[in-house]
A and B are shown apart, each in its own frame.
Chain A
Amino acid sequence: MPLPSHLTIEIVTPDRAIVHETVDEARLPGAEGYLGVLPGHTPLLVTLQVGEIWFRRGSEKTWLHAAFGFAEILPDRIRILARTAERADEIDLERAEAAASRARERLATTSGDVDFERARIALLKSLSRLQVARRIGMRAAGKR
């Protein structure tokens, strides 16, 4: 089978389908670390962590925040089923910042395992959101 030259990437959440595009390269937050995917990747099924996804088409990169779920990778296709996912421009910076400081506070004060784990995940999520949101901020500044 000849190697495909492009990847079709689909990102869906329980609410909606977010992305359906043809791209050249993508990177996802896999269970054991970030993984880059190029066309012709071995079929792979991977669970996702909290983190950022990006995909590139030509020289244009798009960032997303995603948390949990899994991805099915085929030589010519990536299907991502995320529990939550947001495009960089959909992220509410102020809300994410507020969530981050709230989570930090709770991490400092709580002791129970469950609460601690929850706060840790909340912090991870908000940090990832912030990071993704800043990416487009950086790009906009670079163009100016």
Chain B
Amino acid sequence: MVEGSMRSIVLTKGVPDFSEGAVSFDEDGHLERGKTPTVMNPNDGFAVRAALQTKVRHGGHVSGMSMGPPGYADVLKEAMGSVYTDDSYLLSDRELAASDTWATAITLSAGLEKYQEEVGEIDLVFAGFKSADGETGQTGPQTAWAMDWPIVTHVLALDIDPDERTLRAKRLVEGDRDEIETVEAPLPCFVVTDPEFQPTYRKASHRLTHKRLRAETEERAADHDDHLTTWSQEDLNLDPDYIGLDGSPTIVSSVDPIPKAPSEREATMVDPDEETEMSEVLEEMQPYAAGAGD
């Protein structure tokens, strides 16, 4: 493999800007999409950093990819600003509206396949660990499944060996910060980064590259439209039955507001050194502990 020919894709999506001052709710507490600006999913920021680290260390090409309405071009532009992507691919079509994670994964995998046919062989796909609005964390793994590629999730640190065509990753086990395992996977591979992921640049040459990429990107992001490719359902050659609302097996029956915690509660102060008082507390708790021994 020639050095500097690594090719990565960053999957990102737009979410409502939940930050203070930007987000807007109606009287019933429902999000007002129209009044709330769309931004890049904050969790994708970590994926973006991992993609950037790979680009800085190994060179190559990084493309941003997203599925969504035409307005998501701004999200890809934002990704270009932070990951220094070289170009952007937007999968956008009316037919794709109301996709659940499954239909989205099918669409994204079609986008990746088309990319491989028309642009180049992909080595790595980076995805955020979940979106700030849906919070399912399913799209990344489902897309990997659709591509039949390995996936490494909860990645804290990443090393790529372009010659061996492998990656080595440190990952959180079961989300427990105390348990970290090191895994190795062949390329091409999906990588889902954990919010704890920290890129490291310990070489001066890496930092100089980083600085050069930043300067180059500032110019490129200014005319993002020139670097944007939009693919429709027809371009992707997708069966309408497998995409959009029709292709989405998920049914959201209803949305319940989360009940507010009662503001007044009864409390009795108990001295832990008082034996009688403490045994009363234990007796009170007994019924709730039932089943633990079953």
User: Do these two chains really belong together in a complex?
Assistant: no
